[in-house]
Structure 1
């Protein structure tokens, strides 16, 4: 699919009646595996990107250039329509415009811009939100910067957990009126909160984190959620697999006796060997 087709596919998910769980991906191969498994969408979280590029925790030390470069590798590799966590947009509203330009060019289907005060300011650690006017300016800037109208711009707020439902609804309403395509929330504690956000905005809701026991995708869909994250377990699983493999080799296990390796057919499929073999036949005389 082209970038526009992937964006249209993501919009179809938001417009549909169900709620999907995106695949958490971090490189070209993980994106291809997600596509092979039939995931409707994929997501690159900010914490995952920081780990993949820097081996660092999610303290907003990754640069926009590094983020966009990683995204390009994922989208060109054939991942499902990709939603990315663009954090605070790497600065003020002008920086948000640059962020949208770069990530649109990198092939994302959708991106979130959040109203959390980032990076962490000096002083005691506490999550704080931007003033509504500043958060709204960022969403307006993001919308103004896109050139492909099918690119999905999602306003993200942490207000449910920080300032409460009333403020979350007020912020989501303002972002919706500005033209945001969806609302991404974290800290969901009750499906009634989804109902309030949906009633106030009329927009599809994307759920980043929620209290345990609220129900699965079918339940969330009934309350207006269209995308619900399941965390980012794939990258930690990959780290553990690398550790176990290197540890076994270090301790003397022969390569042929290693556990957990994919079979040859899977490796060939994930690296699209048939495609390259055909190109060699067609263009290299063999």
Structure 2
């Protein structure tokens, strides 16, 4: 098991490198262990997958900070995969953001993003809205100030490219450059023109939350300073589909011995760490 600081240093090494990596979308201890076994450099725990894992609900900012931090801790204690998390709007104003950083840091994460979306969505708002640039700067500065471990990475996240305009997005990137954050997390960037413009003004590594076919080439992304690029959250959806298919087969009368799609022999033992648990039982329980 790597220490929390070692994991954060591994995340920083990705930011300081020259390549663009795709993190594994994880939502619980088993998915994180599988991602680690497959060699992923980073795990990504998003607000949307958190809502699914904790409440079985869509991403409408319904979970609490406590619930989110607890799930982060369950994931980080399961292995050594450096975990990047999307902490949404920090669960409130700048002071709430500081509490969010404190709780997530104690939970063992390696990096986290705070976004400038106005959340939860206000009454009567037909589409997402952003907080003011000034408030956004305050939130990012507060997040950085709240860190106890300087190796923890903080990303300033904005969806301005899609929500407001390219000009507003560039203005926010420029402002967030001076807040002490370790990266700029962008959503809604779909064209090379948009990414080129963002890369020109960003003085920090870029993290992309969305990938369109036009910008999905990793060499191109790396050349524009993108160090982390998400590929969606298919694993949690695939897990839900697998559960549905298995339960449906059993409900339809399929014998358990005839089920398909189950893990290969020995996989569950690896993922649940059966061997070290058995050794501990022998050593300590007689």
- Could you tell me which residue of structure 1 aligns to residue 187 of structure 2? 186
Instruction: Work out whether residues 211 and 230 of structure 2, in 8 Å CA contact, stay in contact via their aligned partners in 1.
Output: no
Task: Return 233-242 or 187-196, whichever deviates more.
Answer: 187-196
Instruction: Work out whether residues 42 and 79 of structure 1, in 8 Å CA contact, stay in contact via their aligned partners in 2.
Output: no
Question: Aligned to 2:85, what secondary structure does the other structure show?
Answer: strand
The two structures have a TM-score, normalised by structure 1, of 0.97
Question: Aligned to 1:178, what secondary structure does the other structure show?
Answer: coil
- Could you tell me which residue of structure 1 aligns to residue 20 of structure 2? 19
CA drift of 1:99 comes to 0.2
Q: CA RMSD in A?
A: 1.1
**Matched residues in 1 for 2:169 and 2:245: separation?**
43
Q: 1:184 to 1:260 in 2, by over 3 A?
A: same
- Could you tell me which residue of structure 1 aligns to residue 264 of structure 2? 263
May I ask how many residue pairs the two structures share in their alignment? 285
CA drift of 1:206 comes to 0.2
- Could you tell me which residue of structure 2 aligns to residue 118 of structure 1? 119
**Matched residues in 1 for 2:107 and 2:229: separation?**
24
**Matched residues in 2 for 1:217 and 1:79: separation?**
25
Question: Aligned to 1:140, what secondary structure does the other structure show?
Answer: helix
- Could you tell me which residue of structure 2 aligns to residue 274 of structure 1? 275
**Aligned pair 1:284/2:268, yes or no?**
no
CA drift of 1:278 comes to 1.3
CA drift of 1:235 comes to 0.5
Per-residue displacement from partner, 1:222-255 (whole Å, max 9, x unpaired)?
1110000000000110000001111111111111
**Matched residues in 1 for 2:190 and 2:277: separation?**
49
Per-residue displacement from partner, 1:92-124 (whole Å, max 9, x unpaired)?
001000000000000110000000111010004
Question: Aligned to 2:215, what secondary structure does the other structure show?
Answer: coil
Matches within 5 A, 1:80-99: 80-99=81-100
Q: 1:208 to 1:49 in 2, by over 3 A?
A: same
- Could you tell me which residue of structure 1 aligns to residue 219 of structure 2? 218
- Could you tell me which residue of structure 2 aligns to residue 156 of structure 1? 157
**Matched residues in 1 for 2:48 and 2:231: separation?**
14
**Matched residues in 1 for 2:242 and 2:72: separation?**
23
Question: Aligned to 1:89, what secondary structure does the other structure show?
Answer: coil
CA drift of 1:79 comes to 4.9
Question: Aligned to 2:122, what secondary structure does the other structure show?
Answer: coil
- Could you tell me which residue of structure 2 aligns to residue 227 of structure 1? 228
- Could you tell me which residue of structure 2 aligns to residue 176 of structure 1? 177
- Could you tell me which residue of structure 2 aligns to residue 109 of structure 1? 110
CA drift of 1:28 comes to 0.4
Per-residue displacement from partner, 1:63-110 (whole Å, max 9, x unpaired)?
000001111010000151111010000000010000000000001100
Instruction: Work out whether residues 191 and 220 of structure 1, in 8 Å CA contact, stay in contact via their aligned partners in 2.
Output: no
- Could you tell me which residue of structure 1 aligns to residue 101 of structure 2? 100
- Could you tell me which residue of structure 2 aligns to residue 35 of structure 1? 36
- Could you tell me which residue of structure 2 aligns to residue 51 of structure 1? 52
CA drift of 1:149 comes to 0.2
